[in-house]
Amino acid sequence: MSEKYYYWKYENLYSKEEVNEINNQIDNSINPIAKDIPATDVVKTSDVKIIDSKKIQLLERMLDAVVDSNKKNFGYNIYYEKHMMNYNTYSHKNKGRYDYHLDTTYFNPASDIKLTAIVNLSTEEYEGGDFYIHMGKEFIVPEIKKSGNMIIFPSFFLHKVTPVIKGGRKTLTAWIAGPKFQ
């Protein structure tokens, strides 16, 4: 747990070889019908592909880690299921970024999004593309800068990605839902 327990981190969840394997399998896992629904009134300049996590065996470890971190830290009532995830590519060419937002949009009257999990799948070094959480004050989450690392945090925390100014940043994001907060 880090920064006053605002997020949970898994360092080296995936090796460099596993990151390459996941990236190679992304193209065969894209859902051609699904579309990204970014937060409203917020700038998001990444390229987003929606993937079916069921098609990539290595992603089972990511979801297992989310369940583990929930038990150890968050204690939410969550659903454990493989589902669609966002594969985000942020490029220096358009200064890819995603301004402050919440991950709370969910179109199910019986559920709420409770946790956000992000894995860095970058295969090249990049500058910028820093990840911040804002909880009364802004702080950087340095662990997500390294390829193969994952962070998990409550989806209702404000967070952002700063513009990428050199290279490219690739991440895979999963949202974990559960019964409505009460």
Per-residue model confidence as pLDDT tens digits over 89-128: 999 999 999 999 998 766 677 788 999 999 999 999 999 9
Phi, psi (rounded to 5 degrees) for 91:
-110, 150
The strand pairing partners of 87, in sequence order, are 49, 172
The whole-number average pLDDT for the span 48-74 is 93
Task: Give this prediction's pTM.
Answer: 0.93
* Calpha distance 128→182 (Å, rounded): 38
Where residue 1 falls among pLDDT bands split at 50, 70, 90? very low
